[in-house]
Amino acid sequence: MLFTFSQLGDRFGILIGNLIEKTKELDPVYSIYSEITYESMPLILRFLRITQALESYHDIRDPDTRVKYLPDEQYGIIANKIKGLIAENTIDEHFISIMNYILESANTFGIRKVILRTRLINLLEKYDAIVACIIYDNFGFVSNKYELADIVIKSRNDYTHPRIVIEKKGVSGIKLFYISEILKLLLEICLLDEIGFTCDEMIGEFSDKWKGEINFLKNQIEKVTN
């Protein structure tokens, strides 16, 4: 549950109104949040879905991420040169066809200026005060935003492209579980901010709840692993 009735306080009407409005605006994000909160799913899928929700949230909130690197005319010149080089160096028609499709569609759908690592760091910087006291102080293997972003990226690549990953560089098992919970917490912070909770309110109203959940998970895992 994102929040309880008591945490709404005197602003019940305002915050609920914001929630209804934001649910429509951020429908893809809320859909995934409901899915990971109320549905049981394999750990890897859960991790990937939470990552997708954060990526979608940042994309919706930062329209500049949808801007193309190059104007179509300029991109076309470069793409045609690459096509020529491919055609000169291979006789595999299937490969040529695939590469032509990739080159033609890349600028149509927009080559993103912002990659997932940057999106995560942007969000972690925005909510640094909350993240520092909730996440970095409670998870020994993650001490800053750069470490966290790197772990997420490497793990996402491992599980999204398993056939082409020669050596896994991300995390698995218990650490993947913890990373998933960290990302879910970051997603909740984003959604609470959207509704109207300030950073100070989140630290005051939600920090004990989040720390309690983290400690409970740690204790349960220790019982299973010891």
Residue with tokens 């959207």: 194
Q: What is the mean pLDDT of the chain?
A: 78
* Phi-psi sector, 142: left (phi>0), alpha (psi -120 to 50), beta: beta
What's the pLDDT at 2? 57
Give the other-Cβ count within 10 Å of 21's Cβ: 12
- The per-residue pLDDT for range 33-57, each reduced to its tens digit, is 889 888 889 999 999 999 999 999 9
Burial class (CB in 10 A: 0-12, 13-18, 19+), 92: exposed
Q: Which segment of 28-32, 73-77, 143-147, 164-168 scores lowest on mean pLDDT?
A: 164-168
Better-scored residue on pLDDT, 151 or 18: 151
- CB neighbourhood size of 155 (10 A): 23
135-140, Cβ contacts within 8 angstroms, sequence gap of 24 or more: 135/182, 135/185, 135/186, 138/211, 138/214, 138/215, 139/178, 139/182, 139/214
Neighbours of 47 (CB within 10 A): 26
Residues 155-196: tens digit of each pLDDT: 998 888 765 555 677 888 888 988 898 899 899 889 888 887
Closest of 14, 52, 10 to residue 30, by C-alpha: 52
Contact 136, 211 (CB under 8 A): no
Range 81-92 average pLDDT: 84
Residue 133 scores a pLDDT above 80: no
Which pLDDT score, from 0 to 100, does residue 62 have? Answer: 77
pTM for this model (two decimals): 0.69
**pLDDT given at position 43:** 92
Residue 116 has pLDDT above 60, yes or no: yes
Looking at the chain, which runs of residues are DSSP E strands?
none
Q: What residue ranges do the domains of the chain occupy?
A: 19-62+115-225, 72-109
Q: What is the pLDDT of residue 113?
A: 47
Mean of the pLDDT values across residues 202-207?
71
Tell me whether residue 195 is exposed, middle or buried, using C-beta atoms within 10 angstroms of its C-beta: 0 to 12, 13 to 18, 19 or more: buried
Q: What is the pLDDT of residue 52?
A: 93
pLDDT of residue 11: 64
Hey, which of 27-31, 104-108, 140-144 has the most confident mean pLDDT?
Answer: 27-31
